A and B are shown apart, each in its own frame.
Chain A
Amino acid sequence: MIKPSLITAASLSLAAFSAHAEFEVDVAGSASIEGRYFLQDPTYPQQPRTQSSVAIEPEFYTEWNNGQDSLLVKPFARFDAQDSKRSHSDLREFQWLHVDDNWETRIGVGKVFWGQTESLHLVDIVNQTDSVDQVDGEEKLGQPMVNFTTYGDWGTLSAFVLPYFRERTFSGEDGRLRPPVPIDGDGAIYESDAEQHHVDYALRYQNSFGDWEVGLSYFDGTTREPELTVVQTDNGMMESVVPYYAQIRQMGVDLLKVQGSWLLKFEGIYRTGQSEDFGAMVAGFERTSVGVFGTSQDLGFLMEYQFDERDDNFFATGQNDLMAGVRWSLNDIDGTEMLAGYVQDLEHSGTYNGFVEASSRMTDNWRWKVDAYFFSSDEVNEDTFWFMRRDDHVQVTLEYFF
């Protein structure tokens, strides 16, 4: 297998200019500078009021065999000036893809997405969330995998063997967006003696039936969403909070139906193996109007209802919540778009969170992003958002694409 280093990549790119080059390495990617400003003073000592960081994510790609085989290498690194735990690097992708007539294999480190809804990704379980990198949970860590996919008129069937587990990332002592005692990710406890080396399996079927998109999935292995455990010293003092990763089985269903200008979406899971067996679901719609206000702009309305049988998991915030959102695309040359959402807890009126994500292009290579998140809770020491009640912040990012 070909492992292009920076030097060979550069020299191969040069070689690509010569007519007889057998293959070339495409180099692309992005680099960004980001600042966070927190609107309130921190709740816990050591937490900063502002946070700044830089990140880089280059991408190297080469293919051979008429494109039937390809290799994609995509490392990532972020340096955060305040939170040492947020300074981290990851191999997002390092994947050999082989494509044949009705099957393909992906071997290495990769990323897959499963699901249909916007406010929660219940079904999406293969990749671990890089929760320290972005608050919205959309950023994922690279997952080592051997994947075999076969497809035909009957749909797509994908099988995964996942030989290594990625631990979730958490803010450190000098970071915001954390409980009073930082979660000690390095002290993670596992149900399996194999710990991170437990081999997980996953299976997914996906197909389109006219207006319907249907996905069925099954996962057997280490849960991606930990439970938090307090480690105590001999005299009963709290030493640290650590994640506990149980062995789980999860069945998932995701559905989408196109209904005129409406998209109806559903995701449901049933998971066994953690401290309680439970079901969870999210269901809702997105309705888009094009050419609003006599312009060429699109305006979409989203609403999703979140339900989760658990009531004490730190990470499961959507127990009985309603999300309402607006997606606005200007359809201008700069590709300006905005998404704003608000999630209300239906049992506690003082518990809600919201977000605004806006971005636009400045030149063909530069893009600005402004993201804002706010959290509120009236459940003292009970709710995830209680611990983050003063972590409302605005994040400004300048991203350069090359």
Chain B
Amino acid sequence: MNAEQSVRVEDKLYYNRYLVDVGRPHVKVRRHTTPSPQLLALLRACPARCYELNDKGQVEVAVDGCIECGTCRVIAEPTGDIEWNYPRGGYGVLFKFG
């Protein structure tokens, strides 16, 4: 229906520079069987599309492309659905222009 379904965020993230802290993700999703409305909102609200549904219908996060905006923190930290931190100093996204 929407034209933007064809927009590939992955292509956008490809422009950016990242220093990934392998094995130390700075955002984690609490274990759940059925996702809360807040977690489901992240599937669409995250500008880097870090949140995806797995085949069991649970929300998963992959932070490699995270642009550290904090949107998911504002939405889903209060409910305890996610644990949010900044990456370790020096790691994460590195804007050249910002």
Partners in one complex: no
Question: Which residue numbers of A lie inside 8 Å of B, CB to CB?
Answer: none
